[in-house]
Each structure stands twice: as structure tokens, then as C-alpha cells.
Copies of this chain bind each other. A is one copy, B any other.
Amino acid sequence: MNDDSFQTLTGDIREFAKERDWEQFHDPKSLILALTGEVGELAELFQWGKADEALARFSEPWRKQRASEEISDVLIYILRLADVLKIDIAAAATEKVQDSRRRFLPEDFFGLAPEKE
């Protein structure tokens, strides 16, 4: 693939929906349910394996292929949701990473995972 931009893939997905007259189904609540479905399929691939064996297991081609497909589906629905909401997801995520750089300073959080309370 020559162009790996967010805009190109977002445009592909939009066109895919339009060609099938599926825009009518793509309200935000329905898209989040679809996203939930794909995250669920991804979770099912990894659920029972040991955490420290996951990388080795998923380097096997058939498992890597399955994971690629589910990861792709998650990406496709989050891009579609952003598009429908007119959110520039690449800009928003870049800004979010910058925010996190400021909130979680390396000197305060080095080796420490923030815990939800």
C-alpha cells in the first residue's frame, strides 16, 4: 500500500457504505454496538491463552491472520464512527497523545501503570 493515511482508508469505508446504501444503518449507537462486537471477537482470540505466551502464539501465521482481521474490523468501525461524527481522528488522536505526555510525566510514572480507583 502506498498511501497509509487515515483519510484514504476513511474514504474507502465511506464509499463502501454508500455503494450498499448502508449509511442508513450507520448512526453512532449502531456503530458503537458493531465496534463492541468486533472488540468481542478480538477478545475471544486471546481469552484463554497465557499473557506471556501471546506474542509467540500469534506469530503463527493463521493466528496472526485471524488477529489481523479482527483488529482491522475494530479500526474500520472506529474510523467510520469518527467520519459520521465529522471528527478528524488523526488530529484528535495526535492531540490526545500530546495530552498524555503532559499528564503522565516520565519522571512521575516511569515503570508505574496508572490505576483506576
Contact = CB atoms under 8 A, between A and B. Distances in A.
Interface in A2-49: 4-7, 9, 12-13, 16, 19-22, 24-25, 27-30, 32-49
B13 A74 contact: no
A102 B110 CA distance: 41
Interface residues of A, number: 84
A50 B64 CA distance: 24
A33 B51 CA distance: 12
Interface string A97-117: 100110010100111011111
Given A9-B97, A37-B41, A41-B37, A48 B25 contact: yes
Given A19-B106, A45-B116, A78-B78, A52 B27 contact: yes
Contacts of A32: 33, 36, 39, 42-43, 46
A21 B110 contact: yes
In order of increasing CB-CB distance, the 5 nearest A-B pairs are A40-B40, A48-B113, A4-B90, A72-B96, A37-B44
